[in-house]
Amino acid sequence: MEYKITTKSEEETIELAQNIESEKFPNLIICLEGDLGSGKTVFAKGFASALGIDEIITSPTFTLIKEYTNSEMPLYHMDFYRLDKSPEEIGLDEYYNKGGIVIIEWADVVRDYLPEERLDIRIVLLDEDTRIFVITPHGKKYIDLCEAVL
């Protein structure tokens, strides 16, 4: 099962992220895939804003993982575009059960290390403003989340 949502602006992408955030739960794993400039970080910004995080959200490309713990639920924002070590070396799987939310940009780089239950979001860039979000839930709670907000 997959869902397709088209957004035509950055604001609509943020709104989609905020809708998903409204059904958040501890240990929520969101895996983002898409070309450079497709909107992965914009989605993460919208989600973080809805969580009450007022820090500026940027892609953690050079630090790999940014932790935001001053909100209603911790957010672990990851970007593996430049990953040059094993996911085991950075303790990736430890984040899956910390009670927060994990958003992984470039999740395809660590596909073999992702949990079975998760929310995959592939972003297809059609033009400067238009994106198609192909959302695939893996596991009952992710299916329930999608049915509630999409």
Q: What's this model's pTM, rounded to 2 decimal places? A: 0.95
Query: What distance in Å separates the CA atoms of residue 66 and residue 58, rounded to the nearest whole number?
Result: 9
Q: Give the separation between CA 71 and CA 55, rounded to whole angstroms.
A: 10
Fold of 3-149: Rossmann fold (3.40.50)
Query: For 72-127, how does the pLDDT look when each residue is reduced to its tens digit (9 = 90+)?
Result: 899 999 999 888 777 778 889 999 999 999 999 999 999 999 999 999 999 999 99
CB 103 within 8 A of CB 75: yes
- What are 12's two structure tokens? 């609509």
Given phi > 0 = left and psi -120 to 50 = alpha, else beta, which region is 76? beta
- Reported as a single tens digit per residue, the pLDDT across 2-19 is 999 999 999 999 999 999
Pairing of strands 65-68, 75-79: antiparallel
Rg of the chain over Cα atoms, rounded to whole angstroms, equals 14
